[in-house]
Structure 1
Amino acid sequence: MSTSTAASGRTPKKAAASGWIGSALEYYDFFVYASAASLVFPQLFFPKGNPTVAIMASLATFGVAYVARPLGAFVLGRWGDRHGRKNVLVLCMFLMGASTFLVGCLPSYETIGMWAPILLVILRLMQGFAVSGEQAGANAMILEHAPFGKRGYYCSFTLQGTQAGQIIAAAVFIPLTALLADDAFQGWGWRIPFWMSFVVVLVGYYIRRNVDETPAFREQQSQRAAAKAPISQVFRQHRANLVRVFLMTFVNAVAVTTTVFGMAYATQPGYGLELDKTMFLWIPVLGNITAVLVIPFVGRLSDRIGRRPVFVVGTLGAGVLMYAYLFFISARSPILALITAILMWGIVYQGYNAVFPAFWQELFPTRIRVTAVAIASQIGVAVTGFIPTINSLVAGPGSGINVPLAVGSVVLVSCVLAAIGAWTAPEPHRIPLESLGEPGATPVSREDYDRIRATA
């Protein structure tokens, strides 16, 4: 094997490893907020006296990050298509780390009054802006390094890293809630996971600065083919796929309902259940551990049978299982809720989670890929980020509404819309990289596909 061949073989693995580690670190920062918003922010950053309002306000601050994500998508997506995937990923890392660290430094409502929730919202908006370019940039980096016939497998490692970041984000709270008294945890213990983001930034920067820019992007630059106005090209030439990706993001209702609304429903006094907090912190940990194991197999399956069938089955299956998850919480059966969450979120949901990193990127050409995916996905995610708030409005504390039925229906409708978006999209897994997203691109023959897979 020549040196160039060996280097070429290592490049996809290096890109996948960088995507895995970078996404794990960045999404640790983003999701550590979710745990705190459910566990302590209602008591710390909002006026006392009305727990229902405090819960809704805290969940709304979780959602405001999703408002900033479309803006970040326009800015950071364009940056990634004009200046490179590597540059945008490093920028996202620094923005995320700084905003997360500062959340851990915020005084409480008792100390500075209304400035506490105001500053919390500003920093959460910074988090949302930063994370908007992360997955689009990381997935483009891996896709453009991956060999033909294995794009689904390699791109799935980005989401495996994202799940690992969620594991770490939830896991750091478990010893703190178990070992510290409530007063200590409310006073300073919750801040430790946010302060740890300083280390996250240093590690992430070291990893990402050593990753090469992708050959596809370098070729675009050498041919001066990079889009001068990628945003306008996206909306003029690729509106149908923008709408499809937008709809497909609605399946995120499963994740945010499980981790944010589900935890608040189970543990906050306003709902009257007050189940053990530690038990529900284990749900994202064990669910995501399962997901980390499942994701590469699902990504490889999508390389064999296509993106669309895997996506649709996973999406609809997870939507149906949400009814059971919420029912077991309402029945005060945390063990059964945990088992259902692992099945729903850790296994079935990965039909979406493992497939979309390659699927969405394959719908657009290189010159506008990061911009298109960032805009479509982040506008959709901005909508689903408020699903915990919508859930609390539909079935708030003391409303008398059947929570599992009402909230489960919100999630299932979201999943049906996502499945429609996926099924109406072209099937891109057998299209060569240089033809992806281009008008008139056709799948290669089965014989050529099998031959390239066998020699890749």
Structure 2
Amino acid sequence: MTTHDAPVTPRTMRRIALASGTGTVIEYYDFFIFATAAALVFPKTFFPALGSAAGTVASFATLGVAFVARPLGSILFGHFGDRLGRKTTLVTTLLVMGLATFLVGLMPTADTIGAAAPILLVVLRLLQGLAVGGEWTGATLMAAENAPKDRRGFWSMFGSLGGSIGMILANATFLLIGATMSTAAFESYGWRIPFLTSFLLVAVGFFIRMRIEEPAVFRTEVARRGTSSVPFVEALRNQPREIALASGVMLMIFSFYYLAVGYMINFGTTVLHLSRTTVLSIGILAGAVFGLALVLGAACSDRVGRRRVILAGNGIAVVWALALFPVLDSASAVTFALASCVTTFISGFAYGPVGAFMPELFRTRYRYTAAGFAYNVAGVLGGAVPPLIAAAIVTAYGGIAFGGFLALLCLISLGCTLALRETRDTAMEQDADAAPAPERSAEEATTA
């Protein structure tokens, strides 16, 4: 709310939270079915000539392509989100993701069109990455810029909660399909079904998001000062320190989360030789644990502060990073489930406050761009790099060496969190007076 608008009612906040969470459920469901397919199917269907080990590396490289695209997507969609509005941009990211995911389900394999198959796969993955680059930030801002200050951590969590539900749905879908057909049928055509049916979910998300309004904080900023002509440049000029440190804060969260949803699925099936059904079932459990931890972290952040919760998560993560692979190497389903759930719990607990913490760090006129860029740079460094190099490091030097690498990332996150201020008492609308002089008038902004 602002001084010019009535307070947002609890009913309206529930509708905003639904729009925020539903969209990210769909977006991250699409994103994670690709990650699951990359672990279980793509090495054979798109990279058969490379062999098992190299095919797995190449498959996870396509997974990493999206992370490279995410910062670009944050700049692209952040630009329009800060100039045209949060709502229009969110609807666009949803449609781009839905189309790219649907087309993956129609993709011919390497046996049919040869080298063109992985090339097309990479192109579609790039589109997914661009869309996700603008999705989380917009969904989170819709909640953060509308929520009452004393419950902002809780309400801002719903955009992030979509990641948990998307993870559960992705694993459940593959589990159901795999349980109802043979391995040969699953690898031939069954893996396509989650990609094709996702477009039905996009229609639901589109309907819900079209019913929400722009946050009053954003409308007031545009009316008073117009919009920034180049939000990315203005953000880098005014708050470079916050952008760099905010990226570092997220390194542990991304590395732990994508280790659980990507690399560990492959590790469970190929190294521990657990059944696909077992690994996917554990993935569902880990997704539920992630969601519960996220809610807990967000609620705690409204009581004790964002910074303290994130610091606690990062501190515990340093220790767990060193213990993870010795636990995994015990080669049992029970310890694999324990490792998956502890990893996602730590990640989720630290992630809970982020939905409020990131927007609170930046000014309204470039908040979409700045928060999105920091978030997605962390996605590249923490989400793409560790799963991509994990297999090579574990094979060459053992799991404890990779654990040391993870611990280093956790220490960086810990240091960056310490260097930032507490933001719990930040009023989202107060930064309007501190913002630079307008570069465009409000009338010009409406025609941008």
Give the % identical residues: 33
The match for 1:223 is 224
Q: 1:437 to 1:372 in 2, by over 3 A?
A: farther
Q: 1:324 to 1:176 in 2, by over 3 A?
A: farther
2:140 touches 2:158 (CA, 8 Å); kept in 1?
Answer: no
Q: Does 1:425 align with 2:424?
A: no
Distance in 2 of aligned mates of 1:353 and 1:285: 18
Point out the more displaced range, 120-129 or 416-425: 416-425
Please state how far the C-alpha of 1:324 moved relative to its aligned partner: 3.7
1:428 touches 1:436 (CA, 8 Å); kept in 2?
Answer: no
Q: Does 1:352 align with 2:347?
A: no
Q: 1:373 to 1:381 in 2, by over 3 A?
A: same
Please state how far the C-alpha of 1:181 moved relative to its aligned partner: 0.9
Q: 1:109 to 1:437 in 2, by over 3 A?
A: farther
Please state how far the C-alpha of 1:39 moved relative to its aligned partner: 0.3
Q: 1:388 to 1:340 in 2, by over 3 A?
A: closer
- With normalisation by structure 2, the TM-score equals 0.92
Q: Residues 216-269 of structure 1, C-alpha deviation per residue, up to 9 Å, x if partnerless? A: 11111211332222111101110110111111121111011122111222222x
Please state how far the C-alpha of 1:312 moved relative to its aligned partner: 1.3
Q: Does 1:363 align with 2:358?
A: no
1:139 touches 1:158 (CA, 8 Å); kept in 2?
Answer: yes
AA of the residue aligned to 2:343: M
Structure 1 SS opposite 2:250: helix
Structure 1 SS opposite 2:228: coil
Please state how far the C-alpha of 1:423 moved relative to its aligned partner: 1.4
Structure 1 unaligned blocks of 5 or more: 441-456
Please state how far the C-alpha of 1:79 moved relative to its aligned partner: 0.6
Distance in 1 of aligned mates of 2:103 and 2:169: 19
AA of the residue aligned to 1:35: T
Q: Residues 410-442 of structure 1, C-alpha deviation per residue, up to 9 Å, x if partnerless? A: 2221111111111111111012222359869xx
The match for 1:386 is 385
The match for 2:204 is 203
Distance in 1 of aligned mates of 2:255 and 2:39: 16
Structure 1 SS opposite 2:149: coil
- What is the Cα-based RMSD across aligned positions, in Å? 1.9
Structure 2 SS opposite 1:30: helix
Distance in 1 of aligned mates of 2:433 and 2:152: 17
AA of the residue aligned to 1:61: T
Q: Does 1:310 align with 2:309?
A: yes
| Residue 408 (structure 2) aligned to one of 384, 392, 413 | 413
Distance in 2 of aligned mates of 1:437 and 1:388: 41
Distance in 2 of aligned mates of 1:212 and 1:378: 25
The match for 1:449 is none
AA of the residue aligned to 2:219: R
AA of the residue aligned to 1:361: P
The match for 2:341 is 342
The match for 1:402 is 398
1:324 touches 1:340 (CA, 8 Å); kept in 2?
Answer: no
The match for 1:113 is 114
Distance in 1 of aligned mates of 2:324 and 2:190: 29
Point out the more displaced range, 312-321 or 126-135: 312-321
> Which stretches of structure 1, 4 residues or longer, exceed 6 Å deviation after superposition?
4-7, 437-440
1:11 touches 1:145 (CA, 8 Å); kept in 2?
Answer: no
The match for 2:134 is 133
The match for 2:329 is 330
Equivalent residue runs for 1:39-188 within 5 Å = 39-48=40-49, 50-188=51-189
Structure 2 SS opposite 1:351: helix
The match for 1:257 is 259
Distance in 2 of aligned mates of 1:247 and 1:7: 33
2:82 touches 2:369 (CA, 8 Å); kept in 1?
Answer: yes
Q: Residues 70-112 of structure 1, C-alpha deviation per residue, up to 9 Å, x if partnerless? A: 1111110111000101011000000000000111111111111
AA of the residue aligned to 1:357: G
- With normalisation by structure 1, the TM-score equals 0.90
Q: Residues 318-354 of structure 1, C-alpha deviation per residue, up to 9 Å, x if partnerless? A: 3432444433332211212202322331x33222211
Please state how far the C-alpha of 1:12 moved relative to its aligned partner: 2.0
AA of the residue aligned to 1:316: G
1:157 touches 1:295 (CA, 8 Å); kept in 2?
Answer: no
1:33 touches 1:62 (CA, 8 Å); kept in 2?
Answer: yes
2:40 touches 2:266 (CA, 8 Å); kept in 1?
Answer: yes
1:12 touches 1:147 (CA, 8 Å); kept in 2?
Answer: no
AA of the residue aligned to 1:402: G
Structure 1 SS opposite 2:48: coil
The match for 1:33 is 34
Q: 1:287 to 1:262 in 2, by over 3 A?
A: same
The match for 2:443 is none
Q: 1:162 to 1:49 in 2, by over 3 A?
A: closer
